[in-house]
């Protein structure tokens, strides 16, 4: 059995390397996705005992949840997987609107249960905060669903520090999911200290900074997707970022590992980061992500990586 870690104060135990599934049926996020390949990614995750799967209503929309439900039914492995999904988006006249109202969240959970073909969701997140709903009121609705057995743990995603404190007024928040990587470390100012202090698990998304921390790009690399608009991938900043990645590669070579392995291993040394959810578009990437668990960083190496990206 693979190594298992506990997610914060929940009763959920998972492989520290999970699976982000926005490329499984996320046709609105990625062009030319093959659903058959997506199904193979999920089957490979099961074979490799990667048992924490992160999805959302808006991936597809709906299609990622449907494909996961299909594979878990096909394999009969629902009990082997800790399922996390998210809700907050709805469509009005073709436009996406955010809704955190208790009535909406309860309906969102019921709809996700159907698509996932399951009787419970292990972790349900409010995907984005809306402008009107008091955050503790929204979380209170999820607490009712938790008491009813429909969900096992409560998460919030993309909440600011102030919104997180309001959401956790009654101590019900189990998990925060937020953007965090070596290039984007603002969470260290307030979110990470707060989650550590309150035994809330912090799950970073974009841990490899859209592939930049994977160590596969050079100055000749060209991008025709959202990365082309990101400052990380533009001009002199891109050149500087590549130099930082090369410094990590020096450490990776000492470890007989790849850059991505070392980067993911560094996150797992952060207090309150229990599990990571790197994505995968191909089955071999699922297996690849697991290599991070073989990397043991010394205190000096942890400090060295931190200094490179100070």
d(CA 236, CA 216): 18
Structure letter (DSSP) for residue 158: S
Rounded CA-CA distance 251/238 in Å is 21
**How many helices, marked H, and strands, marked E, lie in the chain?**
10, 11
CA 124 to CA 121: how far, in whole Å? 7
* Token pair recorded at residue 270: 């952060």
Residue 125 is among the residues annotated as catalytic for this protein: no
Which CA distances in Å does 30 have to 62, 186, 226, 280? 14, 27, 10, 12
Going by their DSSP bridges, the two strands 201-205 and 175-179 should be labelled as: parallel
180 upstream amide cis, omega within 30 of 0 = no
Tell how far CA 121 is from the center of its chain.
Answer: 16
The CB-based long-range contact list for 143-146 (8 Å cut-off, 24+ gap) reads 143/170, 143/172, 144/102, 144/106, 145/105, 145/106, 145/109, 146/172
Q: Active-site residue numbers?
A: 59
């Amino acid at each position: 059995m693979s190594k298992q870690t506990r997610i914060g104060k929940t009763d959920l135990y998972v492989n520290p390397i999970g699976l982000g599934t926005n490329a499984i049926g996320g046709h609105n996020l990625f062009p030319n996705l093959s659903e058959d390949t997506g199904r193979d990614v999920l089957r490979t995750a099961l074979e490799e005992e990667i048992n924490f799967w992160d999805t959302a209503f808006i991936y597809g929309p709906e299609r990622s949840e449907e494909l996961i439900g299909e594979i878990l039914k096909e394999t009969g492995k629902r009990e082997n997987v800790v399922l996390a999904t998210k809700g907050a988006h709805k469509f009005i006249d073709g436009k996406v609107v955010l809704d955190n109202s208790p009535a909406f969240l309860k309906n969102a959970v019921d709809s996700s249960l159907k698509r996932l073909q399951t009787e419970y969701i292990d972790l349900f997140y409010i995907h984005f905060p809306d402008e009107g709903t008091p955050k503790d009121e929204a979380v209170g609705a999820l607490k009712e669903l938790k008491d009813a057995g429909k969900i096992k743990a409560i998460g919030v995603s993309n909440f600011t520090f102030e919104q997180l404190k309001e959401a956790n007024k009654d101590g019900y928040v189990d998990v925060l999911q937020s953007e965090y990587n070596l290039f984007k470390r603002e969470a260290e100012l307030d979110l990470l200290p707060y989650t550590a202090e309150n035994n809330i698990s912090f799950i970073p998304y974009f841990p490899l900074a859209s592939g930049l921390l994977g160590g596969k790009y050079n100055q000749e690399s060209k991008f025709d997707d959202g990365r082309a608009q990101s400052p990380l991938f533009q001009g002199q900043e891109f050149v500087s970022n590549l130099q930082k990645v090369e410094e990590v590669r020096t450490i990776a070579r000492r470890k007989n590992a790849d850059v991505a392995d070392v980067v993911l291993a560094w996150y797992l040394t952060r207090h309150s980061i229990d599990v990571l959810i790197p994505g995968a578009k191909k089955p071999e990437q699922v297996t690849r992500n697991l290599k991070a668990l073989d990397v043991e960083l010394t205190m000096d190496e942890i400090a060295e990586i931190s200094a490179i990206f100070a």
